Amino acid sequence: MRARVGTDIRENMLTRRALLRAASIAPLAGCGTGVLGTPGAVRIAVSWSGSELAAFRAVLDALDLSGSVDVIPLGDEIETALTGGRSAPELVMLPQAGRVRELAEGGALRDVPESLWLDELEKPCYPGVWAELLYHDERPYGVPFKAADKSMVWFDRQSALESGVGTPALWTLDFWLDRIEFLAGTDRRLLALAAADGWALTDLFENLLYAQDPETYAALAAGGESASWEKDAVRAALHLLGSWAANPAAFAGGVGTALTMQFSDAVREVFQRRRAVMVVAPDFAEPIVRKAVAESGRNPAEVVGVMDFPGLAPAGPRPRIVGGDVLVLTPSADDRAERVLAALAAPAAPLPWINRFHGFLAPNEQTDAAYSPFLRPSAERLRDSAVFGPRDEVVFDLSDQIGALGGRNGLWRILTEFLIAVDGDRSGIGPAVNDAVLALARW
């Protein structure tokens, strides 16, 4: 029966991905010169949709660029914008900064003016974690536009109080399983998981891995001979994830529901439907959180809790994983595209998104933004991790740095298979860990 359920989940996920892919690449299919977009406009491809796309258009409006820029939303198929051709966009908002060096080396990108990386005193205006990924042969090939704190946990304070689980912000990671078991006899679960959006599943695993051992995380990100998945920390992170999946009380709706649940629905499970106490979600969950709380008839300021992803122990390493979107130029870019790039790289450019739409962290240290109480701690941490000590060092998203393994047919698929194998079966954790490590090691 378990095999049949797993097959059904995989088939549903593959069907959904195929439909999304067909819809997202349609704007580029069969287009020749002048067919795609407004003649003479600078074309910029983005992965955003919904409120994020609306927020980006508001940024363009504030910069008086709406009439001279065509936005091409491509979703998960954003890299189709880098395949070249006469209809290729001049600018791409790339959500995988770890791909920039490879793309630059292969000639798929143009370098960007180094002046965009410097403030008026010619000092860097972006944290070093970005330069490590976006420079190739001592030249920048991208400009950070939007940061993402991948080590945030959102929780419903009212649900935590009503269910008697205590205060999530005080827990270590080891205590989560205890709280899962505590809630087993109630109608609430500890976690909502958006595993259908593979990045949400890989983000969770990466946080677990970093909490186990930052050095293993760093070695895997760096690649080379030291990048072995046959490490105790990898097994420990998988085992912890498996211990949750083996407990029917861990995830809202169970593993089967988690594997078909999208990001926005996982947020609503916590703050609107109130079937889970918390969700591991980046900063850009904020607009969904606010709307979900309002739909439940409550005030966000009174019920929304935000905390850092915890360590295994109070004094242990805590994950501080960052991702984000970077602006890159394609070989077809001209002076007009460079001017658009410069306008979007200005410190004040994202303020309409931050102030009106929320759910945005600016990587530019010169951006003077009035962040909401929910995002202010993240903004301060990502801007200057040294304030928080060496155990809180900010690192970049692992799946963005490990090439094809970080994609939907790599880590996402392997973790999905892992959850299916463990679903409700404690005795299956060990074999499933072995299978996952072997699959990772084959890449």
Claim to verify: residue 113 and residue 164 sit in the same structural domain:
no
pLDDT tens column, 256-304:
999 999 999 999 999 999 999 999 999 999 999 999 999 999 999 999 9
Claim to verify: residue 360 and residue 215 sit in the same structural domain:
no
Does residue 131 lie in a domain region? yes
Claim to verify: residue 298 and residue 363 sit in the same structural domain:
no
Residue 243's CB: how many other CB atoms inside 10 A? 16
Mean pLDDT along residues 347-361 = 97
Nearest to 333 by CA among 114, 103, 143, 84: 84
Claim to verify: residue 222 and residue 287 sit in the same structural domain:
yes
pLDDT at 26 over 60: no
Mean pLDDT along residues 347-367 = 96
Tell me the C-alpha distance between 222 and 219, whole Å: 5
* Domain coverage including residue 306: 152-319+408-441
CA angle 309, 413, 193 (to 5 degrees): 35
Q: How far is CA 437 from the centre of its chain?
A: 23
The count of domains in the chain is: 2
Judge whether 160 and 152 are in contact, CB under 8 Å: no
Claim to verify: residue 243 and residue 218 sit in the same structural domain:
yes
Pairing type for strands 189-192 and 276-280 reads parallel
pLDDT tens column, 225-263:
779 999 999 999 999 999 999 999 999 999 999 999 999
Does residue 136 lie in a domain region? yes
**E strand intervals along 112-234:** 135-136, 139-140, 143-149, 152-156, 189-192
Claim to verify: residue 159 and residue 145 sit in the same structural domain:
no
Looking up tokens 């760096």 gives 222
Q: How far is CA 436 from the centre of its chain?
A: 22
pLDDT at 18 over 50: no
Looking up tokens 């392997």 gives 414
Q: Give the per-residue pLDDT at 407.
A: 87
Quote the pTM value: 0.90
Mean pLDDT along residues 175-182 = 97
